[in-house]
Structure 1
Amino acid sequence: MTIAAPRLPRLTHRVRKWADGWTRIGTQAQFYAKTLRSVVDVFIHYKTELLRLIAQMGLGTGALAVVGGTVVIVAFLTITTGALASVIGYAEFSDVGVEALTGFASAYFNVRLAAPLTASIALAATIGAGATAQLGAMRINEEIDALEVMGIRSIAYLASTRLVAGVIVVVPLYCVAVLSAFVAARLCTILIYGQSSGVYDHYFNTFLYPMSLIWSFLLALSMAVVIMLVHTYYGYTATGGPAGVGEAVGRAVRTSLVTSGLLTVLLSLAIYGQSGGFNFSG
């Protein structure tokens, strides 16, 4: 009796934590459904707020605007990943005597993995984190409650507008990301390693499938939707004062990065399969 007695409170605590976890999942799913359902209201009632958020997300505000906004950050990150794809690809291919295939590495890895993942990290760290901080500050200052008292649908005005703005902004941002990765890989291979531009362009154009670019854009749009949904939820439900807002931003960034990585793996397997959709022939 003295050994078995302490086990019941521990079991009850575990069951309660398990039930609370499922409750949080249900609450998040309900918020995501309301946010997606309210997208229509954005184009009907909140067009001005949507335009303001698009300008803010694209060009940035405050210290972020000084360096050129999210566009410069995304371009810089993808330049580094494109250069890394070139460096690693040339080193690995040169070990087996086929360094001419470095253009293939850029066309394959940048489109399918490097550019989408890098763009998702930039979106989560800039646009997503900013949205969480803004909504969290409004929540602890009771501004969201004031909007609801005024008869404004807070989820549509705050969450759905940011979701639509994030999806719209990600289109030019991802164009900049892909082009930056391509240019960085080409310049690194030609200028640093001295490979002929004709050889690089031949294998790059051979293995760059237009359909892969389209799928890559759709993947970026899907990740933008997921990232904005996660960040708006954590900001909308933030509690605990300024410290709670910081904690909400950290949790949102962690959740969105894990979710976007998992989404990239699952969608890549669904789109390209295990073979990758290409064949070498000599």
Structure 2
Amino acid sequence: MSAVEQVPIGGRSFARRVLHSPSAAAGSVVVLFILAAALLAPFIVPYDPNLQETANRLMPPSAAHWLGTDGFGRDILSRLVFGARPTLLLVLVVVLLMAPLGIAVGIFAGFFGSTIERILMRVTDIVMSFPRLLLAFAFVAIMGPGLINGALALALTSWPAYARQARVETAILRRSDYLAAAEMVGIRGVRLLWGHVLPLVLPSAIIRLALDLSGIILAAAGLGFLGLGVRPPTAEWGSMVAEGTQVIFDQWWVAAVPGLAILVTSLAFNLLADGLRDILDPRHG
């Protein structure tokens, strides 16, 4: 099936297909659980995540503290739930900046071609030639640590892959009878790109985005681990792992618990992405 034959999936049909895909269903359940826990964090955590009780520092898991306490006596379970908030917020900001920028560059380059394509794709190649994670770390080091700066750094280094993919698909569509017919009835310019090119480019972009989400989570955790993420004492999974490494041989749970949260979240997004590929990509399933 060609790119022109891909049509957007209706809401109910799409939800049905997700439920019938084991990997997509499993990933969706875990992702929704994490999102719900993050949104309802103030109402479900047993303690203030920033409350320090030095008398209870480095306590093992118990009835009072289900996942133990860290080096400052803070409840790890409470910090784990609250720590999902900055991680997911950073992922959301990156997605809202990265995917639209890359898709827009790719569509303009593929549709207009000529000089515009050469300029846009050379810029894309330059950005893509740098190691993404190292470039993001450099940006954060220059701009300073923080959630927004980390999101901007990751977004500005992650869009080229979407641009190249969208450019190839748009170039194929530009020569298709589908767009020729649309132009014959008077649909041109932005209306043509928005209403006829974008819907056909989106499915593959969504698949790539879902596959990239786990990598973005790991990158966000890496920023936090190196102290380039949110500022203390705000709970964040990467910084929690960094704190736990100082006592990992004696109080292993301090680092293991947030590390496991990162693993489970990344796995859930990978499962969801695998299911979405089967649903949205006609070459699979």
**TM-score relative to the length of structure 2:** 0.31
TM-score, normalised on structure 1? Answer: 0.32
Structure having the higher helix fraction is 1
